[in-house]
Structures are given as structure tokens and as C-alpha cells.
Amino acid sequence: MAHDKPFAGRRHEVSRLEGFSDAVFAFAVTLLVVSLEVPRTFGELAHAMRDFIAFGICFTLLFQVWWRHFNFFRRYGLEDTTTIALTGVLLFVVLFYVYPLKFQMKWLVDVIVFRSGNVVEMPGGHRETIVQGSQSVRLMQIYSLGLVAVFGVFGCLNAHAYKLRHELQLREDEVLMTRISILDNVGFIVIGLMSTAITTIGGPSWTGIAGLNYFLIGPMKFALGHYHGRERQRLHALSPRPPVPSP
């Protein structure tokens, strides 16, 4: 979508804050790696290959977070105290949620794709349930609240840039895209809170519904795209026309 892209003609150099953020994101990707050891047998390789689907999902989600952060600095180039503090919070949340995200996606892929069941063999030979019924509620709450935290930070970052729109000398279309970005982050926050509420109120039997609730992201994105296109047309209609040269 257009509101997910950097502003044309804005800042392109990498600051120390961005460099540090990129290093943290790179470290987070390292924590997602399927295995730190080279498989010794084909059986170990085949077992490791099963985890690449979960790794791909986690990598894609983490890349989306990095992409939003990248675009924020390409758009506004802010390095004030508020931006630094919010970036610190974002990086903390990203690192904190790497393992919970990896655990949840691996569990879902194993159960849904590979039909491996909800039981794992532990060292010593005994078998243990991976996620019990009541634990599925807490797992969904952890995921949903992590999403709320990440997009809450992005919402605050974009709201801060919108507050400084005059100092940043943003054009009308850039102000519009900033407003759309705020609404986009608010939409993710609302969906995350809805999923948290569904699992908290409904219990284990409603965790599936809480997961399906994330399909609302598609209609939310479509509605924002429609609103963005309509507002762009309105701004274009209000913009002064260049004078027609006389023959």
C-alpha cells in the first residue's frame, strides 16, 4: 500500500540510532535460526527442514516490523529524545518476544501442517504435552499483547511525527499518509485487544476464534486503502492547477 512506503526525496543516510536498531533486528533473526549446528545425518537434516516453515513465518513478521521502522526514519529522520525512547521500547519488545513467537509458530506448524500432535518426547524418554488447554489461553494472550505493544509503539512514533508536521515541513499528502499510518497501527492494536478479550472471556474453547480474529487485518487494510485513495483525490482536487500557457 502507498502509505507503507517511504516519502520521496526525504532522508536516505543511516544514523547511529538506525544502525543500532538494525543490529538488534539482526540479532533477533539469529535467535530465530532453525539450528545453530550443522546436521550430522540426513535424519537430522530432515527434522531441521520441518522447522523452516515456522522460521519463514517468524522471519516475515519480524521483517514487517523492521520495514515499518525503516520507513519511519526514511520519512521523518527524527532522532529526538521521544524517538530514541520509543525505539528503545520497540527493540526491547522485539527481543523479548522472539522466543514466544518462535515457540508458538513452531507449535502451530507441527500440529496443523505435520499433524505431529500436541505431545513431545523429553530427554529421559517420557512424553509431555506441549500446550495444555488452559495454557493455550495464556499463549494467545502473550502473542496478542506482544502485537499490541509493537504497534502501540509505532502508533506513538507516527503520532509524534504528526505532532511535529509543521517543524518537519510535511506536504499535505505526507500529512495524510502519516494520519493513515496512525490509523493503521490503531487498527492492529484494536484487533490484538479483541483477540486478548476473546481468549480471556471465552477460555480455551475460544482460542481458535481469537486466532481467526486476525483475518480482520485484511478488511481493515482494504478500508484504509479506500479511505487513502478517496482523500488523495480530494487533495488533488483542492490543489491549485498550473496556469495554462497562452498560445
Q: Which of 29-43, 101-115, 210-224 has the lowest mean pLDDT?
A: 29-43
Beta bridge partner(s), residue 120: 128
For 42, residues 6+ apart whose C-beta sits below 8 A from its C-beta are none
Listed residue (181, 104, 173, 175) closest to 145, CA to CA: 104
**Over 70: is that where the pLDDT of 3 sits?**
no
Q: Count of CB atoms within 10 A of residue 25's CB?
A: 20
pTM of the model: 0.86
**Four-point Cα dihedral 192, 195, 199, 201, nearest 10:** 100
For 66, residues 6+ apart whose C-beta sits below 8 A from its C-beta are 22, 25
Phi, psi (rounded to 5 degrees) for 218: -60, -55
Distance CA 75, CA 63 (A): 18
Percent of the chain at pLDDT exceeding 90: 58
**Over 90: is that where the pLDDT of 5 sits?**
no
Phi, psi (rounded to 5 degrees) for 119: -130, 140
**Over 70: is that where the pLDDT of 11 sits?**
no
**Over 70: is that where the pLDDT of 132 sits?**
yes
Kindly report, residue by residue over 68-127, the tens digit of the pLDDT: 999 999 899 899 999 999 999 999 999 999 999 998 888 888 888 877 777 776 666 677
Q: Where are the alpha helices (DSSP H) in the chain?
A: 16-32, 42-49, 52-76, 81-112, 133-163, 172-202, 207-212, 217-238
Distance CA 4, CA 171 (A): 17
Phi, psi (rounded to 5 degrees) for 128: -140, 145
Q: Count of CB atoms within 10 A of residue 195's CB?
A: 26
